[in-house]
Amino acid sequence: MEHLIKNTKRQSETKIKSTRNLKDLEKVYIEIFGKDSLLTNLTKNIANLPKRKRPKHGQLINITKKEIESLFEKKRNSLKIQKPKAIIDITRPGQKQPIGHFHLVSQAIEEIVAIFSKLGFSLQSYPEVDWDWYAFESLNMPKNHPARDDWETFFVKTPPDPKYGQQVLTPHTSNGQVREMERVKTPASPRGGQGGPPIRMLNIARCYRRQIDVSHTPMFHQFEGLLIDKKVSISDLKGTFDYFTTRFFGPQRVTRLRPHHFRFTEPSFEVDVTCGVCLGRGCRICKSGWLELGGAGMVHPKVLKNGHIDPKEFMGFAFGWGIERTIAMKTDLPDIRLLYQNDIRFLEQF
């Protein structure tokens, strides 16, 4: 019996040491400790031994089992930390690192800034969380205006300021209009004032409104243009739009102005651009050949006064357009929510 136990231990050690991978090691474990293995049969045969020999052989079998199990664990741990040798083909061409690109919105912002900079517009930045005064009151919008309803605007739960009112997430970039007028009228300001007009400002920022559908998202980007000088006319406004349209959309696209009403401009216009699919002939996308681009108009005299600029001496125009909407008109994008779904299949097309 002792000879069989020693022989079984020797065979088990040889099998474990010769194993080269974990899969084969599991098979060896079953061979050694399985139901029909020699070690199991030795345990069963203890009952056939004389009573005086049973304790000694039982103890010897248990010691052998523990020694084999210990050897098995050491072998398994050594196989786990072994790493397969890498086969390197030195003749194989190297793999190029994938090169990313800016998001479609960032690309559009860069292009818009480049176009307006050629017209003398300088890029400015103003708060995305601003006071009610700059977002509404200073823009000639009364307190009962529908846009100031909490179903349209995101209000911030903070104590209102006695002068500027409550804080809001800016629903448009127009909050920068009066701030820009104040900046240029204050030469000693940290932002570097210039003592007054002319003003040629381009303000690009995120805006927030409680709207979501195929053409609206709760957060969107807008670019605001503001030009104030002497003898500024609607012809200057229309010429600016035509310059931008031909360079952003292409020479075949043109704009038109439709009379409208905005509280902060007088007269006010909706700006349309010819459809990129039918080029003004009319199709299932545009219906009439035109697509609405954004709002614009001549700066209201009350807004100039709120910015401490004399409306009898200076006049100007302002416009505010959604960047996502502008992209959709350039690329025939059916749903602007695609821009923020992070679908790599869509984003890689641009």
Q: Does any domain span residue 87?
A: no
Give the pLDDT of residue 130.
Answer: 92
pLDDT digits (tens, 9 = 90+) for 186-224: 654 555 556 678 999 999 999 998 777 666 678 889 999
Amino acid at 244: F
Q: Does any domain span residue 94?
A: no
> What is the DSSP-derived secondary structure letter of residue 102?
-
Domain residues for the domain of 32 are 2-78
Decide which of 119 and 32 is more confident.
Answer: 119
- The count of domains in the chain is 2
pLDDT digits (tens, 9 = 90+) for 306-320: 999 999 999 999 999
Whole-structure pTM value: 0.66
Same domain, 178 and 53: no
> What is the DSSP-derived secondary structure letter of residue 161?
B
Same domain, 18 and 111: no
Structure tokens at 235: 């012809």
Give the pLDDT of residue 308.
Answer: 92
Same domain, 67 and 178: no
Query: Rounded to an integer, what distance in angstroms lies between the CA atom of residue 116 and that of residue 187?
Result: 25
Task: State the average pLDDT for the chain.
Answer: 84
Same domain, 190 and 232: yes
Q: Does any domain span residue 98?
A: no
pLDDT digits (tens, 9 = 90+) for 2-53: 677 777 777 888 888 888 888 888 888 888 777 777 777 777 777 777 777 7
Same domain, 173 and 243: yes
Same domain, 31 and 112: no
Q: Does any domain span residue 97?
A: no
pLDDT digits (tens, 9 = 90+) for 158-194: 898 888 988 999 989 999 999 999 998 765 455 555 6
Give the pLDDT of residue 19.
Answer: 83
Q: Does any domain span residue 93?
A: no
Whichever domain contains 178, its CATH number is 3.30.930.10
Same domain, 176 and 61: no
Q: Does any domain span residue 26?
A: yes
Q: Does any domain span residue 251?
A: yes
Same domain, 169 and 58: no
> What is the DSSP-derived secondary structure letter of residue 46?
G
Q: Give the residues across from 183 on adjacent strands.
A: none
Decide which of 97 and 6 is more confident.
Answer: 97
Query: Rounded to an integer, what distance in angstroms lies between the CA atom of residue 135 and that of residue 156?
Result: 13
Instruction: Indicate the burial class of 68 (C-beta count within 10 angstroms; 0-12, 13-18, 19 or more).
Output: buried
Q: How far is CA 246 from CA 199, 250, 273, 330, in A?
A: 24, 5, 10, 11
Do residues 320 and 237 lie in contact, with contact meaning Cβ atoms separated by under 8 Å?
no
Same domain, 130 and 268: yes
Same domain, 27 and 151: no
Q: What does DSSP say about strands 199-208 and 122-124: parallel, antiparallel, or unpaired?
A: parallel
Do residues 264 and 303 lie in contact, with contact meaning Cβ atoms separated by under 8 Å?
yes
Same domain, 261 and 323: yes
Structure tokens at 84: 């397969």
Q: Give the residues across from 123 on adjacent strands.
A: 202
Q: Where are the alpha helices (DSSP H) in the chain?
A: 2-18, 22-33, 38-44, 54-81, 104-117, 132-135, 175-184, 234-248, 301-306, 323-331, 344-347
Q: What is the Rg, in whole angstroms, of the alpha carbon atoms belonging to the chain?
A: 39
Mean pLDDT across 276-298: 82
Q: Does any domain span residue 132?
A: yes
Do residues 265 and 298 lie in contact, with contact meaning Cβ atoms separated by under 8 Å?
yes
Q: Give the residues across from 202 on adjacent strands.
A: 123, 225
Same domain, 34 and 123: no
